[in-house]
């Protein structure tokens, strides 16, 4: 589903940029005149992940609303590719996730609450790059069970799994075997012994299917996946912060002035978990372009008035 949405988003983007998204040179003259001479163009990038692209599009539209000229460089792919672009100043705004980015720059990043991980990220970011406020919304690995299973066994936190009197297995990507939040981490931190059933679609439809079929009792699904709500799944609370928090955080370059930063931070302040789930669910159900989804959400929030 995620791949499919990403592909759709990509096609939509291509069409969008093909029909005038690149901007009409004759028209921009008027806009420039209106924005007190601030003509520096800001480049907004995004990962090759539909949800990330929508967030990038939200930033872009808010910046445009503030009178900035914005160029979109979306669907860039992996960090190996776009981090150097950010460092060189070729990209100015990029929606990121606190934990993964911090761990990418410094593999020894310790997990903790969202505040401490954000602080760690601010510390390790290379010179010239800055992380703005983090949003309440996260898109992170989470331990998910069905509502019935949670009810039967009285589960609310990950630690509660220890009290279940049966052999439990978890569907996740194979890296779950070795990751700190994986099999070993669960045993060390919570005393929970799980057997890994590797399903390699990163919490996608096959993982979901395994959970709903009862092939596994627990599944590793991303916390911003609309499938969690759609299928009445329960996210077990990770009280010990075993999973590195992945709050949405914009990384910006020095080209982004205070006014623009304030505008983005305003988005951050309203982007809570429910908002991100709504955005992803809307995108998956309508298959609209990221631009349309972003506009729908911003209109809904009254942020483009």
Footprint on this chain of other proteins (rule: CB under 8 A): 171, 173-175, 177-179, 197-201, 205-206, 209-210, 213, 215
Q: 265 with 31: CB under 8 angstroms? A: no
Q: 135 with 277: CB under 8 angstroms? A: no
Which H helix or E strand runs over 248? strand 248-253
Identity of the residue, 90 or 206, whose beta carbon is nearer to other proteins in the bound complex: 206
Q: How far is the CB of 144 from other proteins (least distance, A)?
A: 16
Q: How far is the CB of 206 from other proteins (least distance, A)?
A: 5
Identity of the residue, 69 or 201, whose beta carbon is nearer to other proteins in the bound complex: 201
Q: How far is the CB of 186 from other proteins (least distance, A)?
A: 17
Identity of the residue, 172 or 248, whose beta carbon is nearer to other proteins in the bound complex: 172
Identity of the residue, 183 or 271, whose beta carbon is nearer to other proteins in the bound complex: 183
Per-residue H/E/C for 45-106: ECCCCHHHHHHHHHHHHHHHHCCCEEEEECCCCCHHHHHHHHHHCCCCEEEEEHHHHHHHHC
Q: How far is the CB of 173 from other proteins (least distance, A)?
A: 6
Q: How far is the CB of 190 from other proteins (least distance, A)?
A: 22
Identity of the residue, 15 or 174, whose beta carbon is nearer to other proteins in the bound complex: 174
Distance (Å, rounded) from C-alpha 146 to C-alpha 215?
12
Distance of CA 63 to the CA centre of its chain: 20
Q: Are strands 41-45 and 69-73 parallel, antiparallel or unpaired?
A: parallel
Q: 180 with 187: CB under 8 angstroms? A: no
Burial class (CB in 10 A: 0-12, 13-18, 19+), 190: buried
Q: How far is the CB of 179 from other proteins (least distance, A)?
A: 8
Identity of the residue, 137 or 183, whose beta carbon is nearer to other proteins in the bound complex: 183
């Amino acid at each position: 589903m995620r791949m499919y949405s990403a592909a759709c988003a990509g096609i939509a983007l291509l069409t969008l940029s093909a029909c005038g998204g690149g901007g009409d040179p004759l028209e921009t003259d008027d806009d420039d005149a209106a924005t007190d001479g601030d003509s520096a163009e800001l480049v907004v990038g995004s990962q090759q992940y539909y949800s990330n692209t929508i967030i990038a599009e939200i930033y872009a539209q808010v910046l445009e609303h503030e009178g900035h000229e914005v160029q979109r460089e979306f669907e860039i792919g992996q960090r190996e590719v776009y981090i150097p672009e950010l460092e060189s100043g070729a990209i100015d705004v990029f929606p990121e996730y606190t934990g993964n980015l911090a761990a990418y720059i410094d593999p020894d990043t310790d997990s903790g609450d969202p505040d401490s991980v954000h602080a760690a990220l601010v510390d390790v970011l290379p010179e010239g790059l800055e992380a703005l406020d983090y949003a309440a919304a996260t898109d992170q690995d989470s331990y998910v069970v069905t509502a019935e299973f949670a009810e039967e066994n009285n589960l609310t936190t990950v630690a509660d799994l220890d009290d279940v009197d049966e052999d439990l297995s978890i569907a996740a990507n194979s890296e779950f075997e070795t990751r700190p939040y994986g099999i070993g981490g669960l045993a060390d931190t919570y005393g929970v012994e799980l057997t890994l059933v590797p399903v390699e679609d990163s919490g996608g439809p096959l993982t979901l299917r395994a959970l709903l079929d009862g092939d596994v009792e627990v599944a590793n699904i991303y916390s911003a996946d609309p499938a969690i709500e759609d299928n009445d799944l329960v996210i077990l609370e990770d009280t010990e912060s075993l999973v590195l928090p992945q709050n949405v955080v914009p990384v910006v370059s020095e080209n982004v002035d205070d006014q623009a930063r304030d505008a983005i931070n305003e988005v951050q302040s309203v982007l809570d978990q429910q908002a991100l789930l709504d955005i992803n669910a809307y995108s998956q159900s309508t298959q609209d372009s990221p631009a349309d989804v972003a506009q729908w959400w911003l209109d809904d929030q009254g942020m483009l008035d």
